[in-house]
Amino acid sequence: MTLQLGDRAGDLTLLRPDGAPVALSAFLGKPLLVIFLRHLA
């Protein structure tokens, strides 16, 4: 289900550059600009 304005988005799991999983919520505490890149190359 697509997130909408006002929805909470903290429970997504991502991977750090070393491969370790990390929750999006780990980056919260301040307003967070999340930039989704199309692709690296």
- Which 8-37 positions form the footprint of another protein (CB under 8 A)? 8-10, 12-19, 22, 24-25, 27-37
Report the nearest approach of another protein to the CB of residue 24 (Å). Answer: 7
Largest Cα span, the chain: 32
d(CA 10, CA 23): 7
Report the nearest approach of another protein to the CB of residue 26 (Å). Answer: 9
d(CA 29, CA 23): 13
Instruction: Catalog residues that contact another protein under the rule CB under 8 A.
Output: 1-10, 12-19, 22, 24-25, 27-41
